Amino acid sequence: MHQNRFHRAVGRFRHGLAAMETAVCLPFIVTMVFSGVELCNAVFLKQSLNLAAYEAAKLITAPGNNAEKATTRVQQMLASRKVKNYTLSSSPTVNAMTPTGTRITVTVTAPASNLSYGPVGIMMGRTVSSTVVMARL
């Protein structure tokens, strides 16, 4: 009988210990999960900007005046990936008279908070950008 009472007391202690461990570890685990999601969103944003900058550079460097086509293409690509705020710039300004072989730099920049959904917000206040350099055809 005495031994049975001892086992019940130890069992209650173990349940209490498990609850305490959960209370201590759960905030850390939740923070790690949301931080991982935030970092994955940042990588997705970076890849989206890389793709958009490449497509814009490909269109801008083609013969003719294709700046509007490039802007429209970037707009379509980033809208399909739910990126709302971004800037597109190219240097130097390209027109039909830009000589062949001119190095054109295209940069697409967006705030990292574009795809931020969680409560952690480790990417708040940061910007992500992608630059592509191509020669005019």
Q: Taking the model in full, what pTM does it have?
A: 0.79
Give the sign of the dihedral formed by CA 63, CA 68, CA 72, CA 75: positive
List CB contacts of 48: < 8 A, sequence separation 6 or more: 77, 78, 81, 83
- DSSP-derived letter for residue 92 is S
User: Kind and range of the H or E element at 129?
Assistant: strand 127-135
Local structure of 22: helix, strand or coil: helix
Q: Which backbone phi and psi does 65 adopt, to 5 degrees? A: -105, 100
So what's the pLDDT on residue 53? 97
Looking at the structure of the chain, the number of domains it has is 1
Give the sign of the dihedral formed by CA 123, CA 117, CA 111, CA 59: positive
CA distance 48 to 46: 5
Residue 120 belongs to domain spanning: 2-135
So what's the pLDDT on residue 46? 95
Contact 53, 108 (CB under 8 A): yes
Contact 131, 57 (CB under 8 A): no
So what's the pLDDT on residue 18? 77
Write out the chain's pLDDT in tens, 137 residues. Answer: 455 665 555 555 666 777 888 889 999 998 888 888 888 888 999 999 999 999 999 999 998 888 899 999 999 999 999 998 999 999 998 887 888 899 999 999 999 887 777 666 677 788 999 999 999 98
Contact 99, 136 (CB under 8 A): yes
CA distance 105 to 92: 7
